[in-house]
Structure 1
């Protein structure tokens, strides 16, 4: 079964009623003439159908992240066949001056510098956990942990259909976490998925993501781009200014 067929079947199940095909269920509203009013599609169910397909996909895809006041940045997402993953983020650390990869493996999550100076990887969190806020670029959640949030009906979310974001024709959905959540499990935003379960665009507090180029087949596994060391990870805040030149101050 193709992913498009699977999506159509899952969407049909989510939208099917409980009554027989010949008569409306007792709860169905009717017009004054007694004609049943067609049930309105459930936006959360429609989004869940696409996210269920997305969760089964394994791929490599390139995105552009655009935020107000900043130059567009490149994002490369790799979801491997064994469910390991890697998200390369241009300008993801040191106030946009350092490129990093966030890598998820069974033994944890790692931050790895990928700028020309290179350097070793640092384990920054257990597998499946959030990164400390000071080193968290956040964009990686869109492709991994937030899929489970969007699928879980027990998590209070408000979901509504939204106008397609510029640059995509895929269906889009506006998502807001429940107002009672002390620590929201997902950032508010608009998410757009095509029939193959690929995120084509997303508008988030960190900026707007847009798919660029072709989606290609995944590798078998994701490997770390460098050795694991005991150094400190790079923070997202700009680096501290250099201290004044001691020799200049002595004159």
Structure 2
């Protein structure tokens, strides 16, 4: 009989203690005004998107695209120039550049084929000169650099081993596609990519870019690609056109013209 009372007493104390604990929890869960306290979520904060990863995703799509697209290149203080980009299904490519040589006075095409890269003069066409092996940079004196945006720099933007700083950027004029500011992470004589802003749509098409040589903007519908790139003229021997304008002839200090029978080079003793 005694053991039963002890057991009941123990149960009563235990129940009372539990009731007191529950009452304390309820009281603690209310503010001094009696309003319920908002529970703190234990869910982790959402992970911020990696700008470089977002850019790489769009560039990966761009690398698989084959197309023909027209752009306008705007250089500060000058009228826009026309750019036509052709990426063929066999990965050969061609970029036609209005004013791409001779300081903006000559139209040229830069084309890439398995046997090499060519500069072709346009309007009027006068043949194509091989200026570099396939996949290599062009000589600086003959390099308009625009072609890298659509070919070589795609691999740079995809390569995580290349130190780059990538950040979201405000959309450039004429596009609503996401834009990314890219800055090379190392100081070198020849950085792997020019610093700039690149904008790609969901289909991997470059819609705009802002770079040291000017600002590109897509100007029309993107159309299907040819099966391969054809050069606009025959391959010929000769020197490629420089990107800079030829120097103006210096007048004779006396103000008179050199005699026709004497060439300027021979007058300086150059053979």
Deviation string, structure 1 residues 54-113 (Cα, Å, up to 9, x no partner): 000000000000010221100000000000000000000000000000000000000000
Instruction: Compute the TM-score of the two structures, normalised by the length of structure 2.
Output: 0.77
1:184 to 2:191 alignment: yes
Q: CA deviation at 1:182?
A: 4.1
For residue 100 of structure 2, what is the aligned residue in structure 1?
92
Q: CA deviation at 1:240?
A: 3.0
What is the CA RMSD across the aligned residues, in angstroms? Answer: 1.8
Matched position secondary structure for 2:48: coil
Count of matched residue pairs: 218
39, 50, 73: which one pairs with 1:42?
Answer: 50
138, 146, 149: which one pairs with 2:145?
Answer: 138
Deviation string, structure 1 residues 148-175 (Cα, Å, up to 9, x no partner): 0000000000000111111100000000
62, 75, 83: which one pairs with 1:75?
Answer: 83
Q: CA deviation at 1:37?
A: 1.1
Q: Which has the larger radius of gyration?
A: 2
Structure 1: where are the runs of 5+ without partners?
Answer: 1-31
Matched position secondary structure for 1:213: coil
Instruction: Compute the TM-score of the two structures, normalised by the length of structure 1.
Output: 0.83
226, 236, 241: which one pairs with 2:248?
Answer: 241
Q: CA deviation at 1:39?
A: 0.5
